[in-house]
Structure 1
């Protein structure tokens, strides 16, 4: 009998315990997300979504839109994410940069249920109303000290774009680099140019000994690349771009910018840049170089995938040895440098119904395996602290070039926080006009400043 009484008392105690737990859960359950956000837990497992699952416990699909890298490059990244997160699927859409700039703001503003979007720096102000604030999101789903896991410069630059931040840093790039066919140069008894005289000599030698080869290829049809060259020449001696960009009194018709435009005109007068490039867009300019029909090529560090043996094999690029270097300094007092900025970010849409899963994907892409794979593609230098590139896929020239690229990006002379359409719609066409008509640099600088004074480009 006493045995039955003890069992009854135990059963009653158990029932009371369960009822108490249920009661407490009912009182606190309606504020679960807010409690998680304010608790300050530094453990990702404290978030509503388990690292390998979804917040709902059911399989969900998140929509991810971006412009870089290619869908083929993303395939192994997304496969790895879905393998480690079996309850989350990723519906990927990759567009060209121009299409992306046009379509993304419309889609977000009309309420399309996107979850994660790639963020270009020059789009932040436009996208800010439609993106979740980064700090609260990352504190809730990653950790209170999430910013310490990123390179401090990338956080500073993200805050320059919007404060509060609405994008998580992915990585930085430099503006313009000079790529070169190292084997072709060696066959001609030449080396990568370290000075403008070296550059002129390469152009002269290629014209004489390789008459069917374009000495320097670039997408001159897209005027922004000409702007990139001029701004790089400017930054070799001045941080004027930052003074203009951040309203610190800089002007486009100042002596510093005029000197850079004159140096660019010298490239034209010396035949370093020929009118042949005005018919080349990015794709054709790249193809001209990768098929051995050009000795050199100017483009940003996002083209550094060409250093990779695997990339060359996958894309049928037969060039044996590709290197990159800084654009040569034009005159005394300058130093080889680039403009660099946080070039790729990720944001979570306010329209998303799967914010926990979206944040999990962002964490994977910026602090996890996704960032490492992006780094191996050599299209970006990841912003996460402790990233070490795997250079085993690069030959000696490639390894030396990549290290040089990292050093230049880390010590950039100015921000590459560009002014949206001002480069492509205003500056680019003016520089194209100088290339075609030999318009005086003074007129170019005055025209650029006159249009800038309208106030349409720097709010």
Structure 2
């Protein structure tokens, strides 16, 4: 009798399982397309695929993601092609302005404010991060991961100590270190200037703020100032000075963005100039337990600081910053459709506590959320902790060039900065050409 009952129960279980499998197979999934930005070589990038993207699909079995992943210029080229076609993927990685200007100006991304309000999420975020004024579209096209400082001076104090040097407080002190470091076989400042945006975003924007103050870009946009004015010209001249003094070598113009973290980690130079996000390149990969710079070295030998005082600066100690990147939703998605609902669920996940907590713990970014995040230094690498302390220093924030001006202007200026480093253009030529590009852009908007 027991055998009969057991067989009946087994048969019933098999039938139930078959029905369950049938239901799962027959249940229609909503497919959404995604254009994502990811450095496959960065620490924790492999686990991010599993712990962020696969985890979302596991939690949302009714949604299927078709994800295209690119990095650096290939990403920007593909995003530009989508924008030119007038139709973006359902969800896409984007900037608040600058490199994503065509998306903003052509309204290819939906305003996410109604979605945030509907789900009662407005108060969960730093107000600056979800302010419409911070994005070129004039509305919240993407929910930033956080606030971004585009200039950070990474210092290897062990290299300085070996050479009998210390962290400089002024540019003249930094300049005086060049021959000493050279005699010991070190470059002074490493940069990835093969990629034309790096000098503009990670160095020049900070310098422009030092010479022009917080409103230098607003004055140009409003027609109250020009790129040929003294403060902007002095900013470009200072970049030339960096090359002339050997503080930044012309060899940086052949250094790619992917190569520079390894050069700094292997002590090819005493300093590195990059954005705050570059901390993520040096921290521990949680899947392997390895880091480009060990935790002990991060703690004892690496510091992150603002650039020292520049001769002639009028705004002392300022730094360039902007709201960060995030994910947008295609404006072509039909209101109330399954695809729109699925896209919003994904954006909520990518901008929510689970993902932002992971990004904090792995050093990828500091969160825009003010609720639902736990700051635990024990889970963070020393360099990530130092990054957090860097933000605590009272500093006035000035604009980032490519976060303010149109892509057509950025393209001219970025290329000209490379020509400046090569000695092929003068600061005066660069300012005149940038003004011309700006005037042409402005005329096209009339």
For Structure 1 versus Structure 2, the TM-score category normalised by the shorter chain is: 0.7 to 0.9
Within the alignment, does 1:92 sit opposite 2:63 as a pair? no
CA distance in 2, matches of 1:314, 1:423: 43
- 2:434 alignment counterpart: 448
Deviation, 1:268, is 1.9
Deviates more, 1:374-383 or 1:359-368: 374-383
Secondary structure of residue in 2 paired with 1:296: strand
Equivalent of residue 151 in structure 1, options 110, 126, 132: 126
Within the alignment, does 1:126 sit opposite 2:100 as a pair? no
CA distance in 2, matches of 1:383, 1:297: 26
CA distance in 2, matches of 1:185, 1:398: 22
Deviation, 1:344, is 0.6
- 2:349 alignment counterpart: 364
CA distance in 2, matches of 1:89, 1:451: 43
Contact preservation (8 Å) 1:203, 1:216: no
CA distance in 1, matches of 2:86, 2:437: 35
Equivalent of residue 233 in structure 1, options 207, 218, 221: 207
- 2:16 alignment counterpart: none
CA distance in 2, matches of 1:425, 1:139: 37
Deviation, 1:138, is 3.0
Secondary structure of residue in 2 paired with 1:381: coil
- 1:221 alignment counterpart: 194
Deviation, 1:356, is 1.5
Distance 1:268 1:72, change over 3 A: same
Q: RMSD in angstroms over aligned alpha carbons?
A: 3.3
Deviation, 1:303, is 0.6
Contact preservation (8 Å) 2:261, 2:282: no
Larger radius of gyration: 1
Contact preservation (8 Å) 1:184, 1:295: yes
User: 5+ residue gaps in structure 2?
Assistant: 1-23
Q: Deviations over 1:92-146 (max 9, x none)?
A: 3221232233323544675878332112223254355433331233334x22xx3
Deviation, 1:256, is 0.9
Secondary structure of residue in 2 paired with 1:180: strand
Distance 1:402 1:138, change over 3 A: closer
Distance 1:227 1:84, change over 3 A: same
Q: Deviations over 1:209-238 (max 9, x none)?
A: 2x2x32211122223222232221121241
Within the alignment, does 1:65 sit opposite 2:50 as a pair? no
Deviation, 1:63, is 2.6
Contact preservation (8 Å) 1:67, 1:118: yes
Secondary structure of residue in 2 paired with 1:169: coil
CA distance in 1, matches of 2:288, 2:181: 26
Contact preservation (8 Å) 1:420, 1:457: no
CA distance in 1, matches of 2:76, 2:415: 20
CA distance in 2, matches of 1:120, 1:360: 20
- 2:15 alignment counterpart: none
Secondary structure of residue in 1 paired with 2:145: strand
Distance 1:438 1:368, change over 3 A: same
Deviation, 1:206, is 1.4
Contact preservation (8 Å) 2:37, 2:69: yes
Counterpart mapping for 1:409-428 below 5 A = 411-415=396-400, 417-422=403-408, 425-428=411-414
CA distance in 2, matches of 1:406, 1:57: 50
- Count of aligned residue pairs for this structure pair: 399
- 1:341 alignment counterpart: 322
- 1:104 alignment counterpart: 79
Deviation, 1:257, is 0.8
Moved over 6 A (4+): none
Equivalent of residue 145 in structure 2, options 154, 158, 170: 170
Counterpart mapping for 1:246-325 below 5 A = 246-247=221-222, 249-310=224-285, 317-318=292-293, 320-321=297-298, 322-325=302-305
User: 5+ residue gaps in structure 1?
Assistant: 1-53
CA distance in 2, matches of 1:344, 1:174: 12
Distance 1:136 1:157, change over 3 A: closer
Distance 1:90 1:147, change over 3 A: same
Secondary structure of residue in 2 paired with 1:117: strand
Distance 1:90 1:402, change over 3 A: same
CA distance in 2, matches of 1:369, 1:286: 28
Distance 1:296 1:78, change over 3 A: same
Deviation, 1:254, is 0.9
State the TM-score, normalized to the length of structure 1.
0.76
State the TM-score, normalized to the length of structure 2.
0.78
Contact preservation (8 Å) 1:340, 1:412: yes
Q: Deviations over 1:235-263 (max 9, x none)?
A: 12412443256435231111111121222
CA distance in 1, matches of 2:382, 2:275: 21
Deviates more, 1:291-300 or 1:330-339: 330-339
Contact preservation (8 Å) 1:66, 1:93: yes
Distance 1:311 1:200, change over 3 A: farther
